[in-house]
Structure 1
Amino acid sequence: MASDPGWQDPLAGVPLLSTRHVTAGERWIFSAGFNVDPGLNSTGRIDSEVADLRRLAESGARVAVLSHQGSHRDGTATALDHVAGHLSRRLGRPVRYVAENASDAAVRAAEALAPGELAVFGNTRHHAGEERGDADLARRFALLGDRVAVGGFSKAHRAHASNTGVLRLLPGHAAESLVTEVRFLAPWARRDDGVFRAAVLGGRKPEKTLVGLVHAMRTCDLVVPGGVVLNTLLRARGHELGASDAGSRPDACLDAVRGVLAGPARARLHVPRTVWAAPVDGQRIVGAARPVAVADGVPVGHAVVDFELEPWAAESLAGAERAVLAGTPSRYLDGQVRSARAILSALSGSTDRTLLLGGDTVAELPWAGPVSTGGGSALQLLATGTCAVLDALRENTRRTAADGSDPADDNVMDGVHT
């Protein structure tokens, strides 16, 4: 098969922490993606950063860890003391917890760190400006260190204050967890002639529509929408959907789907003839689901919770040479398993050629094949060959070179002294 002549290494021009000599006393900010609940039910996103944190500590660096959990928008952001405790156990050394991150007290705590000492600072999403990429908040974060190691591939697609924001202010390097995920996904981002590609897109996050569906319809041969992606598609086609979940950015997603339906597409789009609808109170299922013909519409007070996979789509999935499943297609944890089981069954013969994306997807669905917990980051990388953090790291290097300085040396960038 001929390789895609337009494909480029996503890590080209990205400075790597693994090649950076670290000396005792250096002040580092480690921008992580520890979006892990206080129950520590799945610690993979913490564990993936342990090797780099250990190397920094053993080299005598003073490390301020910035991370997030939950969201400011819906009030789910929690304290991160559970992360500090888990890291202490994994590293075999005390890891302090500092509840603040942008105050004068947080800066003093970071300055007081001893060589080899690490501290987890407060949840960055306690600030509304984090997810907006607020420049003033980024400037406060940047006072916690002199250089940045960027991990947290799960948020690499987001231009937030604690990752791309601080990279506009301080010299930065890609941590090994970020590099490992990008290298793992790079072959999936290639476009080889004659390869039949399929994408299953579910869940409720808007990037599954805004990035996943828009991209997949141009580059894949088959697209199977589920979850909010399917609900948005059915709305765009004029079907009544009762109280079905519209997601967090319904207008933007609806506009994107209408654009997809109106424009040229490579993929064949699976639109089920039958969905399963259940009575709901808000989004809580309060009664038994039943099959509903899409053409008849979903009754008032009911929501789509699953769908029937058409036989032709199951056959096409079974023959796919590359398949990506991003987002659970149904309300699987609520016992609505029809479409998910049909899709996984169709893909079961090609587990080495099927990739599951996203923390929730990987946690919810039974799957023994390749996985990436990146979710939106993986979708953006597959769609564009890059993501926001990689672009910021490349720009960081160009800016440093333009200043005539070495990224390994102390710098002054955009007014933040390092």
Structure 2
Amino acid sequence: MTFKTLDDMAFNGKTALVRVDINVPVEKGQVTDATRIERILPTITHITQAGGKVALLAHFGRPKGQPVPEMSLGQLVPALEAALGQPVAFAENCIGGPAKKAVAAMTAGDVVLLENTRFHEGEEKNDKLFSASLAALGDIYVNDAFSAAHRAHSSTEGLAHLLPCCAGRLMEAELKALQAALGTPERPVAAVVGGAKVSTKLDLLSNLITKVDHLIIGGGMANTFLVAQGVEIGTSLAERDMAETAREIMAKAAEGGCSLHLPVDIVVAREFAAGAASETLPVDACPADAMILDAGPQTVAAITEIFGQCKTLVWNGPLGAFEIAPFDTATVAAAQAAARLTQEGALVSVAGGGDTVAALNKAGVGDQFSYISTAGGAFLEWMEGKTLPGVAALEQE
């Protein structure tokens, strides 16, 4: 994977069009979580300190090619100014007169936020004319939005073919972490895949069994695999119609030398509620009127042992119904084991996906993995082995 970074570009006197993902949660006009804004600061700071001017390109919500006032990026200006510690100008359009005027008014070190790119149909269509209108505003294109890199839009892919381009610091860190996890990893490699449905992660599982040495399956997905093995799972969540597919995945894993691991003991309850009465049983002893809501301590011990044997770990999805105690126990214990090995320098750990980030934060280890991706869809598609247009465009040279 070869791509240019900020260090390869000369920004002095230049205007950088920087694609960022600041699609942050907003309530009553106030940003409630500025994490995505904070993560783009190193890129902006590098460019401004190098004497460059920064014009930020971003989307917000799904306006479907039409201006939608409540999806205006203007409401994010105060949060951007607070994070950067400097004024941020705002242009009421990302192309045309307002954008040109705002960019022309900038001097070295200035930052301007251009209006929502998705207010134009041309953005999501990757329209050449729209891409050219954006390109006319700047000298260098910087993509710092890995989380939007699975979209072939004008601001994520089209621009890279029209201007000298490079990856921003966040994009650079993400790509290096993913390369270390599945591109050229230190072996053995383990992957944890959890969540509710096998059907939503077929591509992921099919790719991982060709890339990893150990595949650990948890959550509702594990129940489907148990059904495929003829194990009775009571009233547990499962996709019984996917049993044959699960058997095919197990067979392919065995053929390819990938060890597939399922729970050996389970935590069951009659209801999914906080503090519900629960019991731990062998995996094949689920009562007919109970549901499996977590993996048991023997399973956690086995998973921890696998982590100890491995050099690299990729994690996507919880091991149980982690949202409600006590069914978060396995996820928390396994996450803490992975974090401990990471901190000791014995394991490179990369995790991603919405539920995954929430689960690791709940375990108190959100900052103790080697890298945690907040990218969601792009992270999953990369794990599935798919080409991400926004990344491929940066690799064009």
Aligned to 1:370: 370
- Post-superposition Cα deviations, 1:270-316, rounded to whole Å, max 9, x if no partner, equal 22253546757xxxx6893746887688989x976433362534432
Please give the residue correspondences for 1:299-338 in structure 2 after superposition, counting only pairs within 5 Å.
305-308=293-296, 310=299, 311-335=301-325, 336-338=327-329
Structure 1 unpaired stretches of 5+: 1-9, 398-418
Aligned to 2:141: 148
Aligned residue among 213, 218, 225 for 2:217: 225
Does structure 2 retain, via aligned residues, the 8 Å contact 1:84–1:119?
A: no
Q: Structure 1 residue 31: deviation in Å?
A: 0.9
Aligned residue among 96, 99, 118 for 1:110: 99
Structure 2 unpaired stretches of 5+: 65-69
**1:274 and 2:232 correspond:** no
Aligned to 1:3: none
- Post-superposition Cα deviations, 1:112-150, rounded to whole Å, max 9, x if no partner, equal 1122443334455678986xx5223x7535523344210
Aligned residue among 11, 22, 37 for 2:25: 37
Q: Give the TM-score of the pair, scaled to structure 2.
A: 0.71
Aligned to 2:173: 180
**1:20 and 2:9 correspond:** yes
Alignment size in residue pairs: 364
**1:201 and 2:201 correspond:** no
**1:358 and 2:356 correspond:** no
Deviates more, 1:342-351 or 1:331-340: 342-351
Residues 161/89 of structure 1: CA separation in 2 closer, same or farther (3 Å cut): same
Q: Structure 1 residue 191: deviation in Å?
A: 4.9
Identity %: 23
Measure, in 1, the Cα distance between the counterparts of 2:162 and 2:238.
40
Does structure 2 retain, via aligned residues, the 8 Å contact 1:197–1:320?
A: yes
Deviates more, 1:172-181 or 1:271-280: 271-280
Aligned residue among 260, 270, 284 for 2:249: 260
Q: Give the TM-score of the pair, scaled to structure 1.
A: 0.68
Does structure 1 retain, via aligned residues, the 8 Å contact 2:181–2:348?
A: no
Three-state SS of the structure 2 residue aligned to 1:143 is helix
Q: Which amino acid aligns with 2:351?
A: L
Does structure 2 retain, via aligned residues, the 8 Å contact 1:231–1:241?
A: no
Q: Which amino acid aligns with 1:201?
A: V
- Post-superposition Cα deviations, 1:74-131, rounded to whole Å, max 9, x if no partner, equal xxx9554454322212323221345655xxxx5322111122443334455678986x
Residues 63/217 of structure 1: CA separation in 2 closer, same or farther (3 Å cut): same
Three-state SS of the structure 2 residue aligned to 1:173 is strand
Please give the residue correspondences for 1:91-110 in structure 2 after superposition, counting only pairs within 5 Å.
91-98=84-91, 101=94, 106-110=95-99
Q: Structure 1 residue 381: deviation in Å?
A: 5.5
Measure, in 1, the Cα distance between the counterparts of 2:60 and 2:197.
16
Q: Which amino acid aligns with 1:177?
A: L
Does structure 2 retain, via aligned residues, the 8 Å contact 1:279–1:286?
A: no
Aligned to 1:163: 156
Q: Which amino acid aligns with 2:133?
A: L
Measure, in 2, the Cα distance between the counterparts of 1:241 and 1:129.
51
Aligned to 2:67: none
Measure, in 1, the Cα distance between the counterparts of 2:238 and 2:52.
47
Q: Structure 1 residue 233: deviation in Å?
A: 4.5
Does structure 2 retain, via aligned residues, the 8 Å contact 1:318–1:349?
A: no
Q: Which structure is richer in relative contact order (CA contacts within 8 A, separation 6 or more)? A: 1
Residues 107/370 of structure 1: CA separation in 2 closer, same or farther (3 Å cut): same
Deviates more, 1:170-179 or 1:202-211: 202-211
Residues 125/207 of structure 1: CA separation in 2 closer, same or farther (3 Å cut): farther
